[in-house]
Structures are given as C-alpha cells and as structure tokens.
Chain A
Amino acid sequence: MTVLGEFALWISLPVALWGMFLGFAGGRTQRGDLVLSAERSIYAVFFLHLVASIGIIAAFVGDRFEYWYVASYSNREMELFYKITGLWAGQRGSLLFWALLLGFFASLAVFQNRNKNREFMPYVAGVLQTILAFFVVVLLFAEVNPFERLDFIPANGQGLNPQLQNYWMTIHPPTLYLGFTAFTIPFAFAVSALLSGRLDARWIQLTRRWILTSWLFLAVGIVFGMRWAYEELGWGGYWFWDPVENASLLPWLTATAFLHSIQIQEKRGMLKVWNMSLVLATFLLTIFATFLTRAGLIESVHTFAQNLTIAYIFLGFMGGMLALCTVLILYRLPQLRSENQIESFVSRESAFLFNNLLLVGAAFAVMWGTLFPLITEGVTGQQISVGPPFFERVNFPIGLALLTLVGIGPVIAWRRASKRNLQRNFMTPVLVGLGTAAVIWSMGARHGLALVTWGISAFVLTVIATEFWKGTKARARIEGEGFLLAFFHLVTRNRRRWGGYIVHVGFVIMVMGFAGAAYNVDTRHHVMPGDVVQVASPFGHTYELTYEGLSVSLGQGQRNLLWQMIATVSVRQGDEAAGVLTTEKRQYVTSDQQMTEVGIRSTALEDLYLILSAVDDTRAALSADSSAQGIDLQVLIKPLVGWIWFGTLMLVLGTVIALWPSADPRRAAGALSSDTSEGNRPAAPAGAAG
C-alpha cells in the first residue's frame, strides 16, 4: 500500500502538469475538450494524493519504521488515533496533507461549476494545477519526501512529542490548512478573471462562500492553537507573537480586509484593483505561512526543520506568483477602473476603507516584526529581534481603532452621512460606552487600556443590539408579525448582514476577553501538604487553596509513561468548597523532557490556573519517600479568558448563518449582489412611511 502511495505521488506530478498546460491552452484556444481534460486531471490528482496519504497512514499503522517520516513521528506504543493523524504531525506529511486538501477543494470547485460559470473554468483549472504541481515538486525534490527510506530498519520509532499528543494540537494544523487551501479557490477565480478579462464583480460573487469558509477555518484554527498553548504549554498564555502564530494571523488579517472591501465593489463598483491585490496578498500569505511553519526559516517555538532548499523553492514560487499577478493586474488596469468615487469622508464606504487600511497596516506591522531578525541580519549582518512588546505596542491601538469601526460601520449611512444621521444613531451607544467605562472604573479598575477597550466594546454592542431591535420592531410592525417571528425572519431573510453582526458580537466578546489579561494574577508559593494559600481574585473574592499532597505513580496508566506525580489541591471560593484541582508532572519513556499538566477551573468570569512548577526532590519523591512532598506551586488567575472561547463560538455561529444557503436558488443568485441590503420586504413602504 505504501509503495503504491509513493508511486501515486510520483505520477501526480505529470498529471498536474498536464492539467496545468491543458487548462491554459484550453482557455486560449477555447477548446472545451482540453478544458474537460484539465478538469478531470484535478479529480485525478486528488485521487492520487488520497492514495499517497492512505499509503502514509498505512505505514504509520503498520509500524513501518524503515520510512524516515514514520520513524520520526511514531513508535509501536503510540495510540492508533495519533498514528492516523501522524499524516500531518510533521513537515513532510503535512505538505502532502496540504496538497491533499487543496486537491479536495479544487475538485469540489470544479464539480460545483461543471455546468455553470464555464468561461472561468479553463484558467481556474490551470491555476489550481500550477499550485498543486508546485507542492508535488516540493514534496519530491526538496528533500522532504515523506516516502524517503532509511538505510536500516530501526526497532522502534522516536514517537511523537508528548506535548503534541493533545486534542487541540491534533485538530489545530488541519483546521488552519483547510483555511489556507480553501483560499486558493478565490485566488484561482481572481486570476481567471484577470486572464479571461471578465472583470466585473462576478468572480467575487462566485467565490464569496469560499472566502468566508476559508476565513472561518483560519479564525478557528488560530483559536485552536491558542487553546492548545493555553492548556498545554503550561504558563497560562495563549498568544506569544511567535513567528508561526504571526504567519497564520497574516492571511487572516488580509482576508478580513478582503471580506469587507468586496462589499464596496459589489455595491458601488469601486476598489477593483485593491480587491485583486488583497486576494493575491492573502493567497501569498497562506503560502508564506505554510512555508514558515514547515520550513523553519525563523526561529520559533514551532520550528520544524532547517532545510534551505525548501526555503529557496518557496521563495522562488512566491516571487514568481507575485510578479506574474502584478503584471496581469497592470495589464488589465484600464478595465479595473472604479465606477464611482467616494462621496464623503463620513460615509460607510469610508468606514470600510479605514477598516481595510487598519487591517492591512496591522498585517504589515506584524510581518515587519516577524521578519525583522532576517532583515537586520541581511542588512547589517547582526540579528536584531523584536518581541511581544513591539507587537503589543503597534497592534493595541490598531485593534482599538478597528473595534470602534465595528460599531460605526452598521449605522453610518452609505455615500454620505449627515450630522443628524450621526447624532441620531450614535448618541445612545456613546453614552452607554462612557457609562460602562465609568461603572467599571468606580468598581476599582484603573487599567487605562482595559477600561478604554471595555468602554468601546460596550459602545459597539449597543450599536449592534440597537440594529437588531430596530430591525425587529420595524419588521414586526410592517408584516404584523410577533417579535420572535419577526426577529427570526429578520435574520433568515438577510443572513449575510445579520450573520455578519453576530460575527462582530463574537469578535467584541473576544476582545473583551483579551483585555481581561490586564488583570492577570500571578503568585508563586512553596507548599508542604496541608499548607493553605490564599489568592485574591480581581473580582473581589478570595480563593483558599489547600495543598493535599503529591501522589506518585510509576509506569502506570498511559502507555509510554515512566512516572507521573500528581499534586492535589482543594479549592474553596469564599466560604464554599469549589472542588479539587490537580496539576502534575509526567515523564515519558520516549522523551527526556518532563511534561507539566496544569489544573484549570473555569468560570464565566475567570479561570483559576494551577501549575506544578517544580517538585523539591524528584528522586526522593519517586522512591516513595513520604517526606518528599514539598512543591513549588504557581497560582494564576486569568480574568475573562472564557470570553475568548465563547466569543469564538459566536463568531462561528455568525459565519455559519452568513454561509447558510438560501432556500430559493434564484433568490440566492440575486442576494449575491445585494447582500448588504435588507432581505426584508417593507410591504408597503409608501403607506407605512405616510
């Protein structure tokens, strides 16, 4: 099976090249048979990569340690689940997995459009095959072939790093990859639009769902990574401004900008060049992120490998793509002229533009900070790096400005807003925002940035709540429906708009959670069994933690476990018992590193986070010396962390609502060009207004 898989990977290269050539040739000559063949070759490449992936999984499951990749990421004792997900555990497999996912999405796009939008398809097929062929070339010729064999057969493999044997870590990379690869489809349509000369908003309408899907997967993938870091890395942080994290954030930022700016193109026929540039930038950034994760050029906690061949190939590909697309955009420049002009500084178009500028600015700043060590080394020969303080300094103000725009956007009028329009819609929300900040201040919070963040958040939430309220009320009046039904229809009749609002609410809740970090509590204690530690929460109550003792077990429970020391701590909040938390140190047979498992108690307001920092005398504790029970215990309180995860759920919910297909296909087609408008029908606008 594995040999067959290797063979499948090899023949996928000529097949992809064939499809690439025929796609472009078919587009030039307008010959349907060539295009059909190119489209079929996409299905074929997907099938071949499926066979190759099954080959890798078979090698994992069959403990075929003669394969370098299997020997590096698996061992006999590993659970079946991790053997199967071994496909994307390391650089080599994940590149194949990337190609597999792209093949899947490409096939889906070809299948969806087998009878429609045919004028786009020749070049779409060509572009997709070009990218697929590129990945196959990397796999085969950049010293990262997952099928590479060792010249001996090891008795057992290295095993997967225990830190990666975690639920979040298993789903985090594929989710990000789904986002990265799904974005390739809008890119292919954009290039096809440039090549075929059909430059109206059609390509955007066709790929709106793809863009949104990709954006959703990126967002969720990033949050999964945060969750993993929070639970597994053991110091209570969820974001490090690490190069790999930054790399996954970059395409998300530009994709977010793109999602907003396409609405202006659809509605007002403006920003065509800008949208083309954004789709190109986002695609290149997904490639860049894949490359940074899997080529390890910049030092990072995620670093996978140092392999310069792959770096050159990736840089070459990205440079080539950038040059080609720039030339194409310049060539089509006359057809990409704006149909309208921005009429006023104070208008929704303008709000969208500032949103774009801020998002792209943030992306630029993050990129600059990430690449800074490389740039300085290239220029001065001396590596100079910037750390989290840099990213925070730059991104906090940008983030707050963006947050404010989230509140301004929905109610500011298109084209130009009058003073009265602003007053009418902003008075109450601004007052609510100021009031919220004042109330939180009066409760004793003095952190300026956090207060500003929560104030603006309250402003935005009020704006959005008012939108929902006014919309429901108007609909209830016009259609004579009850409020609940009116609300339901309001959302379902224009999913894109109201789903978007729900996404915004989720985002605001997440930001409020981020600001909670201003009130993190971090205390360290040396404790013996029976010792009581008191830690005050910023919300006023006090935790009373009793260290019950350390229990040591040797080689039991999980496979590969050498020993495990569990510190038990009982928690009282105020006067009430609030359960028992454990935090532990583990040593696996397969790794010379100890692992820390933290104990977390989550409530709506805050997380209590316990870390077993160190055991006084590991040797004595292991030899069952009952006096060796002293430990260093670190107690953290993380206010509002749960809001980040909850906000993410809202964000997913909102995106799914916006993505949900309309029941009526003709209506859906219409809605493509009209989504920002009301799907609700004012039955007799004249009568009602009179």
Chain B
Amino acid sequence: MKHGRFMVGLVGVAAVISYLVWTGVSSTMVYYLTPVELVERVEEDPSFRDLGVKVSGKVVPGTYERVEGELLHRFVIHDLEDESVTFPVEWRDALPDTFTDEVEVVVEGRLNADGVFEATTLLTKCGSRYEAAPEDLAR
C-alpha cells in the first residue's frame, strides 16, 4: 500500500530524530551544580568525579595567576553562598574578555582526584555583562 509505505517513512524519520535527541541528551548532559553540591556528591560517591559537571561559583579575588607561555590560567572559586567551600580551577585556553578576578563564572569539566577542577569550558556570568546596574551610579 502506497499510503502505508508513506506512513512508515514519516514515522521512521520521526523515530530517528527522537532517537538522536534521546541518545544525544544522555551522552552529552552535564549536571549543573554549585560547589557545595559538587563536594557533597563526590563525598557520597567518588565515582561522580568521572562525570562531566558544570559548576557556577565566584572567583576569589587575588587568586588568579597565569602561567607564562603555556596559556594556563589558575584561579580559585568559592560557592556563591558558602564562601568557605572553594576549589582551584585550571583553564587552558584564552580567557574571555569578561573575565576579571572577582567575577561569577560557570566552568564545565571534571574535578581531579587531587581536588583541582580542570575546566574544558569557561563562561563568565554576570548580570552586568551587557547591562549595567544604574543603582551603582548612586554616590
């Protein structure tokens, strides 16, 4: 039946797309955590280290350093709420222009066994990235 073949084709395409979405999600998804949550998870289950995670935190002022010639950047981030939870981050690429050493960042990568977070992507996240807060204008 022509019509039947046609439906098979359409359903087939829909199925393939759903399959792509499904496997795509399960193989590329990353947990989005705060540093506190990450530390808790790793304590509960050390194998959690092997999963890619995305962590948002704030750079601790004054901790930023650059290893000359290697394009390696190191800094420490702390939890947004609990400033005592910190871990060092290593980033091997050019820093975005918006990076300063007191900005909020989102890093994606893995937490090493020695407690260093090796970032594979780094985004700065600040409400004022493209929009200034005029409240700051008040003297």
Q: Which residues of A contact B (CB under 8 A)?
A: 65, 68, 71-73, 90-91, 150, 152, 154, 156-159, 161, 163-164, 233-235, 299, 301-306, 341-345, 350, 353-354, 357-358, 361-362, 364-365, 368-369, 372-373, 382-387, 389-390, 393-394, 397-398, 524, 526, 592-596, 611, 613-614, 616, 630, 632, 634
Smallest beta-carbon distance A608→chain B, Å: 17
14 CB < 8 A contacts A-B:
A71-B137, A154-B138, A157-B137, A158-B134, A161-B130, A345-B5, A357-B10, A386-B28, A387-B28, A387-B108, A394-B17, A397-B16, A526-B70, A613-B71
| Inter-subunit contact B2/A345 (CB<8 Å) | yes
Closest residue to A344 on the B side, CB-wise?
Answer: B2
Interface window among B42-50, B81-89, B92-100, B110-118:
B92-100
| Chain B residues, Cβ within 8 Å of A382 | 31-32
| Inter-subunit contact B21/A593 (CB<8 Å) | no
Say whether, besides A154-B134, A594-B97, A390 and B5 are in contact (CB < 8 Å).
Answer: no
| Chain A residues, Cβ within 8 Å of B29 | 372, 384-386, 390
**Partner among B17, B94, B95, B138 whose Cβ is within 8 Å of the Cβ of A152:** B138
Q: How far is the CA of A571 from the CA of B3 in the complex (A)?
A: 62
| Inter-subunit contact A611/B28 (CB<8 Å) | no
Contact residues of A: prevailing secondary structure? mixed
Q: How many residues on B have C-beta within 8 angstroms of the other chain's C-beta atoms?
A: 49
Q: How far is the CA of A372 from the CA of B31 in the complex (A)?
A: 11
User: Does B54 belong to the interface (CB within 8 Å)?
Assistant: yes
Q: How far is the CA of A303 from the CA of B123 in the complex (A)?
A: 12
| Inter-subunit contact B134/A72 (CB<8 Å) | yes
Q: How far is the CA of A325 from the CA of B138 in the complex (A)?
A: 48
| Chain A residues, Cβ within 8 Å of B132 | 72-73, 158-159, 161
| Inter-subunit contact A304/B94 (CB<8 Å) | no
| Chain B residues, Cβ within 8 Å of A596 | 94, 97
Q: How far is the CA of A342 from the CA of B54 in the complex (A)?
A: 48
Smallest beta-carbon distance B2→chain A, Å: 6
Q: Which 4 A-B pairs have the closest CB atoms?
A: A158-B132, A526-B69, A383-B32, A361-B17
| Chain B residues, Cβ within 8 Å of A394 | 17, 20-21, 24
B1-42 Cβ-contact flags toward A at 8 Å (1 or 0): 011011001100110110011011101111110000000000
| Inter-subunit contact B134/A150 (CB<8 Å) | yes
Say whether, besides A302-B130, A345-B6, A353-B10, A365 and B97 are in contact (CB < 8 Å).
Answer: no
Q: How far is the CA of A616 from the CA of B121 in the complex (A)?
A: 23
Which residue of B13, B30, B99, B134 has the most chain A CB atoms within 10 A of its CB atom? B134
| Inter-subunit contact A304/B131 (CB<8 Å) | yes
Q: How far is the CA of A304 from the CA of B129 in the complex (A)?
A: 8
Closest residue to B102 on the A side, CB-wise?
Answer: A592
**Partner among B2, B32, B129 whose Cβ is within 8 Å of the Cβ of A303:** B129
Q: How far is the CA of A613 from the CA of B95 in the complex (A)?
A: 8
| Inter-subunit contact B20/A386 (CB<8 Å) | no
Q: How far is the CA of A150 from the CA of B13 in the complex (A)?
A: 55
User: Does B106 belong to the interface (CB within 8 Å)?
Assistant: yes
| Inter-subunit contact A365/B9 (CB<8 Å) | no
Q: How far is the CA of A362 from the CA of B23 in the complex (A)?
A: 15
Smallest beta-carbon distance B8→chain A, Å: 9
| Chain B residues, Cβ within 8 Å of A306 | 127
Closest residue to A242 on the B side, CB-wise?
Answer: B123
Smallest beta-carbon distance B44→chain A, Å: 14
Q: How far is the CA of A344 from the CA of B1 in the complex (A)?
A: 10
| Inter-subunit contact A154/B137 (CB<8 Å) | yes
Q: How far is the CA of A657 from the CA of B127 in the complex (A)?
A: 43
Smallest beta-carbon distance B106→chain A, Å: 7
Q: How far is the CA of A397 from the CA of B23 in the complex (A)?
A: 13
Smallest beta-carbon distance A224→chain B, Å: 16
Smallest beta-carbon distance A292→chain B, Å: 15
| Chain A residues, Cβ within 8 Å of B3 | 341-342
Smallest beta-carbon distance B86→chain A, Å: 21
Q: How far is the CA of A389 from the CA of B23 in the complex (A)?
A: 11
Given A233-B96, A301-B123, A386-B25, 15 more A-B residue pairs with CB atoms under 8 Å apart are A152-B138, A154-B138, A163-B97, A163-B130, A303-B125, A342-B3, A342-B6, A353-B10, A382-B31, A383-B31, A384-B32, A389-B28, A393-B23, A394-B20, A614-B66
| Chain A residues, Cβ within 8 Å of B125 | 299, 303
Which residue of B25, B31, B131 has the most chain A CB atoms within 10 A of its CB atom? B131
Smallest beta-carbon distance A383→chain B, Å: 4
| Inter-subunit contact A365/B6 (CB<8 Å) | no
| Inter-subunit contact B9/A90 (CB<8 Å) | no
Say whether, besides A234-B94, A354-B9, A387-B108, A91 and B131 are in contact (CB < 8 Å).
Answer: yes
Closest residue to B9 on the A side, CB-wise?
Answer: A345
Closest residue to A368 on the B side, CB-wise?
Answer: B21
Q: How far is the CA of A302 from the CA of B130 in the complex (A)?
A: 7
| Chain B residues, Cβ within 8 Å of A164 | 130
Smallest beta-carbon distance A199→chain B, Å: 24
Q: How far is the CA of A109 from the CA of B98 in the complex (A)?
A: 44
Closest residue to A302 on the B side, CB-wise?
Answer: B130
Q: How far is the CA of A687 from the CA of B137 in the complex (A)?
A: 83
Closest residue to B100 on the A side, CB-wise?
Answer: A592
Smallest beta-carbon distance B28→chain A, Å: 4
| Chain B residues, Cβ within 8 Å of A72 | 131-134
| Chain B residues, Cβ within 8 Å of A611 | 94
Q: How far is the CA of A161 from the CA of B132 in the complex (A)?
A: 8
Q: How far is the CA of A357 from the CA of B8 in the complex (A)?
A: 13
Q: How far is the CA of A341 from the CA of B3 in the complex (A)?
A: 9
Say whether, besides A72-B132, A384-B29, A613-B94, A364 and B137 are in contact (CB < 8 Å).
Answer: no
| Inter-subunit contact B13/A358 (CB<8 Å) | yes
| Chain B residues, Cβ within 8 Å of A595 | 97
Q: How far is the CA of A526 from the CA of B72 in the complex (A)?
A: 12
Q: How far is the CA of A235 from the CA of B93 in the complex (A)?
A: 10
| Chain A residues, Cβ within 8 Å of B108 | 387
| Inter-subunit contact A373/B14 (CB<8 Å) | no
**Partner among A150, A158, A526 whose Cβ is within 8 Å of the Cβ of B68:** A526
**Partner among B31, B100, B131 whose Cβ is within 8 Å of the Cβ of A593:** B100
